[in-house]
Amino acid sequence: MDRPYIIINCAVSIDGKISLSDLRQIKISSEEDFERVYKLRDKCDAILVGIRTILNDNPKLTVKKRYLTQRKQPVRVILDSRCRTPKNSLVVDENAKTLIFTNQKCNKKFRNNVEIINCRRDKDGFLNLNFILNNLSTRGIKSLMVEGGGTVIWNFLRNGFVDDLYVYVGSIIIGGEKTPTLADGVGIKDFKNLIKFKLINFKRLGSGLLTHYQMIK
């Protein structure tokens, strides 16, 4: 199967959480890490997130001028099986192209920079990642940055769709039994199926720690 090179990037607290316990967004990255993330975005052809990240955080998913004056905006990709992306969300503004993968007929009228692509579901009811990655490949997207949230990252990991995993560990604790983490979903029930990584590099970055892993396949 043809697929882009996949970089998963996520900022977590010391206890592995990625938002506040009520799902609200929280600043985990340091300024130095934001600069790294924007530069990484600029190097990728596309950035992908799940619909719950869009609904909770309303991200732009663009590269900010503050970090790069000469920048090409990557394509923004949303996994949204029920076409819930709001027409006024920042991710569909005219600053970049946006692809919304969905499983329902979507009657919303977006601007011309937004394309809706119909996609079948996998056996667990999620949009089929094989189809999506193959579709992105046929569009010439060679590198894809997956930014979350925890459900999307889990599904990429459990399917082995990762080449590089960057985790920035901010020096905070959030806590909460149900607070989203880097990888949510149903989890692994058998130690034989653990998803294993090799630590490639780590360094202090601002007030936190940047780690780089690659999956052991």
Ligand X SMILES: NC(=O)c1ccc[n+]([C@@H]2O[C@H](COP(=O)([O-])OP(=O)(O)OC[C@H]3O[C@@H](n4cnc5c(N)ncnc54)[C@H](OP(=O)(O)O)[C@@H]3O)[C@@H](O)[C@H]2O)c1
Query: Number of helices (H) and strands (E), helices first, in the chain?
Result: 4, 9
CB of 151 to ligand X, least distance (A): 3
State the nearest-atom distance from the C-beta of 153 to ligand X, in Å: 7
Residues 166, 210: contact at Cβ < 8 Å?
yes
Q: Which of 41, 47, 10, 54 is nearest to 170 (CA)?
A: 10
Closer residue to ligand X, CB minimum distance, 73 or 128: 128
Enumerate residues 127-186 that contact ligand X by CB under 6 A: 127, 129, 147-152, 155, 180, 184
Q: Find the shortest distance in angstroms from Cβ 124 to ligand X.
A: 8
CA 23 to chain centre: 16
CA distance 151 to 147: 11
> Judged by CB under 6 A, does residue 18 bind ligand X?
yes
User: Residue 192: CB partners within 8 Å, gap ≥ 6?
Assistant: none
Closer to ligand X by CB, 75 or 153: give it: 153
Contact pick of 25, 73, 95, 143 for ligand X (by CB under 6 A):
25
Give the CA radius of gyration of the chain.
Answer: 17
Toward ligand X, which CB reaches closer, 45 or 184?
A: 184
Q: CB-wise, 70 or 144, nearer to ligand X?
A: 144
Measured in whole angstroms, the distance separating CA 150 from the mean position of its chain's CA atoms is: 9
Q: Which is nearer to ligand X, 69 or 172 (by Cβ)? A: 172
Binds ligand X (CB under 6 A): choice among 19, 85, 98, 135: 19
Alpha carbon distance 9, 145 (integer Å): 7
Residues in touch with ligand X (CB under 6 A):
10-11, 18-19, 23, 25, 28, 49-53, 56-57, 79-82, 84, 126-127, 129, 147-152, 155, 180, 184
